């Protein structure tokens, strides 16, 4: 369109000013060539974000469009952030499983990574030091690619004892500081902050009381979205 406008102005100059217009035409034509070569704006491609996680990321028990990743994608678009999200959530995956597949999950187009693992380690009562070692290895692998990362944690329940809870909860801030990662300490915090009767009345959890409903995921995304915006901003050229 810009080229058409310039050509129209050049023709008008020739008709109105004759030979002088022809000179202007040639000069403007030179500017047009320069503009075409250097002045056309280049639109950056959206950042591709890999979401490496478990069933909470994968969208267990929900229609595909209501899972965490699709809802997050819509939230980002509505808030002016262009990103392509890859759903690398695997139901039942532990931090060890994430560690085993992170290398081949980092395909060339990936520009940033969300790491949201640990829930199944908690459910199985696996040792905090094992989860820490696995997450540390995942972040090291991502860091070696020069990619920014958002580490997303979960709060440990108290049924394994205070020491276990404290050791597990310390993993997220410790590793985020070590690797210079962005941090969301507790993915489910917006839901957990509500009394159980409120969660039930509003239908925020699925029947297993482990996975959020579509409405619960929407609450989670409201807290997660701004952190992912920061992540995308760090990855943008």
Domain chopping of the chain, boundaries:
1-42, 47-235
Report d(CA 147, CA 12) in Å as an integer: 52
Q: Is residue 15's pLDDT more than 80?
A: no
pLDDT in tens, 47-77: 999 999 999 999 999 999 999 999 999 999 9
pLDDT in tens, 189-210: 999 999 999 999 999 999 999 9
Query: How would residue 26 be classed by pLDDT, with cut points 50, 70 and 90?
Result: low
Q: Is residue 2's pLDDT more than 90?
A: no
C-alpha dihedral, 181 to 187 to 192 to 193, nearest 10°: 50
Q: Residue 3's pLDDT is what?
A: 47
Pick the CATH number of 47-235 from 3.40.50.720, 3.40.50.1390, 3.40.50.2000, 3.40.50.1110: 3.40.50.1110
Q: Residue 174's pLDDT is what?
A: 98
Q: Is residue 99's pLDDT more than 80?
A: yes
DSSP run (H or E) holding 52: strand 47-53
Q: Residue 14's pLDDT is what?
A: 45
175-191 burial, b for 16+ CB within 10 Å, e for fewer? bbeebebbbbebbbbbb
Query: How would residue 236 be classed by pLDDT, with cut points 50, 70 and 90?
Result: confident
Label the pairing between strands 83-89 and 182-184: unpaired
pLDDT cut 90: percent of the chain above it = 80
- Where in the sequence numbering do the catalytic residues fall? 55, 208, 211
Report d(CA 50, CA 110) in Å as an integer: 6
| Residues 153-169, mean pLDDT to the nearest whole number | 95
Query: How would residue 43 be classed by pLDDT, with cut points 50, 70 and 90?
Result: low
Q: Residue 45's pLDDT is what?
A: 85
Query: What does the block give as tokens for 24?
Result: 């202007």
User: What are the DSSP calls for 173-237, one per residue?
Assistant: HHHHHHHT-EEES-TTHHHHTS-HHHHHHHT-B-TTSSSB-HHHHHHHHHHHHHHHHHHHHHH--
Report d(CA 61, CA 86) in Å as an integer: 19
For CA atoms 48, 49, 54, 57, the dihedral sign is: negative
| Residues 199-223, mean pLDDT to the nearest whole number | 96
């Amino acid at each position: 369109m810009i080229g058409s406008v310039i050509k129209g102005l050049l023709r008008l100059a020739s008709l109105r000013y004759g030979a002088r217009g022809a000179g202007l035409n040639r000069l403007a034509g030179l500017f047009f060539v320069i503009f075409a070569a250097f002045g056309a704006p280049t639109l950056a491609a959206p950042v591709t974000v890999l979401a490496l996680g478990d069933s909470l990321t994968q969208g267990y028990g929900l229609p595909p469009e209501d899972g965490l990743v699709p809802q997050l994608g819509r939230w980002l678009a509505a808030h002016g952030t262009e990103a392509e999200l890859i759903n690398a959530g695997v139901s039942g995956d532990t931090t060890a499983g994430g560690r085993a597949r992170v290398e081949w999950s980092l395909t060339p187009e990936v520009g940033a990574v969300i790491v949201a693992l640990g829930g199944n380690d908690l459910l199985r009562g696996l040792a905090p030091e094992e989860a820490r070692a696995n997450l540390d290895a995942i972040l090291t692998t991502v860091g070696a690619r020069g990619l920014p990362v958002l580490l997303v944690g979960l709060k440990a329940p108290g049924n394994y004892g205070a020491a276990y809870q404290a050791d597990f909860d310390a993993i997220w801030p410790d590793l985020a500081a070590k690797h210079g990662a962005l941090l969301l300490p507790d993915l489910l915090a917006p839901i957990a902050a509500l009394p159980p009767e409120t969660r039930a009345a509003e239908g925020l959890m699925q029947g297993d009381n482990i996975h959020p409903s579509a409405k619960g995921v929407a609450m989670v995304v409201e807290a997660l979205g701004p952190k992912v915006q920061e992540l995308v901003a760090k990855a943008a050229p």
